[in-house]
């Protein structure tokens, strides 16, 4: 199952869900059989008849591995287990005992085209080093495909940090929920394609993967003003504001006004004015290409103290402070990249999701922390995470996103919903634009992305 809309938990939250499940009468062995069935199904799908090496570690991740090996062998696959440990307990011990096929020590495990990694899961307690590190490097180099059970061995389940060696996966089957470590640190590169199986656990969390939104089309009574006027404040680098204004227009705004010293508009449908009327604007975007001089500072201050719903991006993020944001009487959405975030809120330690949630709580704003995993965090403790295509890492794509956020804010007047819609549409437009995209290509794909959400 793809990870769309899946809950995202810390290791401690996952263990609490597991404990509640046991308290309701499910045994560890039953849960492990469920996990193993899901692992065996995915491994068989990827193996397509090739020989499989299943790596079984000393804990319950190893228990899942032994049980999956049994199910795969029963289905006719050629399976060898490379074992690490030797003193299993509980359900893992029962699964190890029930495995009757070939078992070798991890250090002697034969290289195979397909590896199922059940060495360590959320219980990793120290760096992978020495013989284990040597063995996984050898097996990884020889394998065509590695499927990680729950999380790639060597990753911290909460931060994705790898203090030692990591067995990089081509795909990971997360059990019960996505773990924060799949989405940050070394986890971004080491997780591969992220799949989730609920294994029968009903997990509730307000931190989830971003799902495709449902977008409401305009009503028959709507006109350009009711659909929301977006004001884009231009500045020293007018190209950035033009990109944002184009994205705002393509993002479903009723009306886009670009206020800039440079009178060139990117589309005839975008109106150029000296000033934006705060009483008319449903959302105002300040920041892309604004500059950081005194004039920019005054402009920023004027909008910060206004009653307008604001999207604050780029240069403007360097001209505001957390307390002023928290005092704003109207909704605010901040769209920092990692550097802008660090300047405003301090560098995020390890867990970017936790850092974005804390920033949202402090600033009383929706925080869109951009990057390879983009986190959308709200002051109420809810968050959504998405992994946009890496081709977005090119200049100006953030300006497009900011314009799109403003468009959805004007259309919905609901800041968290607006940010989620915009981030999803932006990633989708990037996929539609394809490899080697440039920021100018993105806006024309936004209407197609919107059409998929109606
Ligand atoms: N939660 C759920 O709902 C479900 C969870 N399930 C599964 O359980 C997994 C969690 O299992 P877990 O808690 O037993 O921990 P696990 O990851 O196997 O590792 C702990 C063992 O590894 C050892 N060890 C650690 N680091 C090491 C190192 N660097 N080098 C060497 N050894 C090291 C550590 O030793 P210790 O620290 O105790 O000395 C201990 O022996 C989870 O990821 C999922 O797959 C499913 O079965 C069903 C539903
Ligand atoms: N490695 C990456 N993988 C996926 N998306 C990325 C990556 N790097 C950057 N992005 C996305 O590209 C955009 C860049 O925004 P930003 O840094 O503000 O650029 P600019 O200021 O040039 O417009 C963001 O939406 C971000 O999420
Ligand atoms: K693993």
Give the tens place of pLDDT for each residue, 86-144.
789 999 999 999 999 999 999 999 999 999 999 999 999 999 999 999 999 999 999 99
Give the model confidence (pLDDT) of 343-398 as tens digits.
Answer: 999 998 889 999 999 999 999 999 999 999 999 999 999 999 999 999 999 999 99
Residues 242 and 305 in one domain: yes
Residue 180 maps to a domain: yes
Residue 220 maps to a domain: no
Residues 202 and 247 in one domain: no
Token pair, residue 316, equals 């403007």
d(CA 183, CA 383): 13
Rounded to the nearest integer, the mean pLDDT of the chain is: 95
Task: Give pLDDT, residue 374.
Answer: 97
d(CA 217, CA 232): 23
Residue 383 maps to a domain: yes
With tokens 């009487």, the residue in question is 329
Residues 399 and 257 in one domain: yes
Residue 216 maps to a domain: no
Residues 273 and 418 in one domain: yes
CATH code, domain with 100: 3.40.50.10260
- Out of 208, 239, 272, a domain closes at 208
Q: Is 150 annotated as a binding residue?
A: yes
Residues 396 and 302 in one domain: yes
d(CA 423, CA 386): 8
Q: Is 153 annotated as a binding residue?
A: yes
- By residue range, what is the domain housing residue 140? 8-208
- Out of 179, 208, 237, a domain closes at 208
Residues 192 and 44 in one domain: yes
| 3-class DSSP assignment, residue 112 | coil
SS (H, E, C) 328-374: CCCCEEECCCHHHHHHHHCCCCCCHHHHHHHHHHHHCCEEEECCCCE
Burial category of 294 from C-beta neighbours within 10 Å (exposed 0-12, middle 13-18, buried 19 and up): exposed
| Atom 21 of ligand 1, nearest CA residue | 59
Give the model confidence (pLDDT) of 214-246 as tens digits.
Answer: 999 999 999 999 999 999 998 888 899 999 999
Residue 185 maps to a domain: yes
Residues 248 and 136 in one domain: no
Out of 35, 54, 58, mutate this one to test ligand 1's pocket (max ligand atoms within 8 Å of CB): namely 58
Residues 199 and 243 in one domain: no
Kindly compute the dihedral angle of the four CA atoms of residues 223, 224, 229, 231, in this order, to the nearest 10 degrees.
Answer: 180
Out of 313, 337, 338, 376, mutate this one to test ligand 2's pocket (max ligand atoms within 8 Å of CB): namely 337
Token pair, residue 412, equals 């919905």
DSSP letter (8 states) at residue 160: -
Is pLDDT at 3 greater than 80 in this prediction?
no
Distance from residue 263's CA to the centre of ligand 2 (Å): 27
Which ipTM value was assigned to this complex? 0.93
Residues lying with their CB under 5 A of ligand 3, a single-atom ion: 117, 148-149, 153
Cβ–ligand 1 distance for 122 under 6 Å, the answer yes
Residues 127 and 238 in one domain: no
DSSP letter (8 states) at residue 212: P
Residue 302 maps to a domain: yes
* Mean pLDDT, range 47-52, rounded to an integer: 94
Ligand 1 atom showing the smallest separation from residue 59 Cα: 18
Residue 282 maps to a domain: yes
Counted domains in the chain: 2
Task: Give pLDDT, residue 2.
Answer: 65
d(CA 228, CA 412): 8
CATH code, domain with 370: 3.40.1190.20
> Do 430 and 442 form a contact (C-beta atoms < 8 A)?
yes
Residues 200 and 252 in one domain: no
């Amino acid at each position: 199952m793809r990870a769309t809309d899946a809950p995202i938990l810390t290791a401690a939250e996952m263990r609490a869900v597991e404990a509640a499940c046991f308290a309701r009468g499910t045994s560890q062995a039953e849960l492990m059989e469920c996990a193993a069935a899901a692992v065996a199904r995915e491994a068989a799908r990827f193996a397509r008849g090739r020989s499989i090496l299943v790596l079984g570690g000393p804990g319950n991740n190893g228990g899942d591995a032994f049980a999956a090996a049994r199910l795969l062998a029963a289905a006719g696959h050629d399976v060898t287990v490379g074992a690490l440990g030797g003193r299993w307990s509980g359900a893992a011990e029962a699964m190890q005992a029930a495995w009757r096929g070939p078992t070798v020590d991890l250090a002697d495990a034969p290289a195979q085209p397909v590896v199922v990694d059940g060495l360590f899961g959320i219980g990793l307690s120290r760096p992978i080093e020495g013989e284990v590190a040597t063995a996984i490097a050898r097996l990884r180099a020889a394998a065509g495909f590695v499927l990680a059970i729950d999380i790639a061995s060597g990753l911290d389940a909460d931060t994705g940090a790898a203090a030692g060696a990591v067995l990089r996966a081509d795909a990971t089957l997360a059990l019960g929920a996505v773990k924060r470590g799949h989405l940050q640190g070394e986890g971004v590169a080491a997780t591969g394609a992220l799949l989730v199986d609920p294994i029968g656990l009903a997990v509730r969390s307000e931190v989830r993967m971003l799902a495709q939104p449902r977008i409401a089309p305009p009503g028959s009574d709507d006109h350009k003003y009711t659909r929301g006027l977006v004001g884009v404040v231009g500045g020293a680098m007018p190209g950035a504001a033009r990109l944002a204004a184009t994205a705002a227009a393509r993002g479903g705004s009723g009306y886009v006004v670009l206020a800039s010293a440079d009178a060139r508009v990117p589309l005839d449908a975008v109106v150029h004015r000296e000033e934006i009327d705060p009483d008319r604007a449903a959302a105002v975007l300040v920041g892309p290409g604004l500059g950081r001089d005194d004039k920019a500072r005054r402009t920023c201050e004027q909008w910060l103290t206004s009653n307008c719903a604001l999207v604050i991006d780029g240069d403007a993020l360097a001209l505001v402070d957390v307390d002023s944001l928290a005092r704003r009487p109207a909704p605010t959405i901040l769209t920092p990249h990692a550097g802008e975030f660090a300047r405003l809120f301090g560098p995020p330690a390890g867990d970017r999701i936790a850092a974005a949630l804390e920033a949202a709580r402090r600033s009383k704003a929706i925080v869109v922390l951009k990057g390879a995993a983009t986190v959308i965090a709200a002051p109420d403790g809810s968050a959504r995470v998405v992994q946009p295509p890496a081709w977005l890492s090119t200049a100006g794509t953030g300006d497009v996103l900011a314009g799109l956020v403003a468009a959805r804010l004007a259309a919905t007047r609901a800041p968290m919903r607006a940010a989620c819609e915009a981030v999803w549409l932006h990633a989708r437009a990037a996929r539609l634009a394809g490899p080697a995209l440039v920021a100018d290509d993105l806006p024309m794909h936004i209407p197609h992305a919107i059409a998929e959400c109606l």
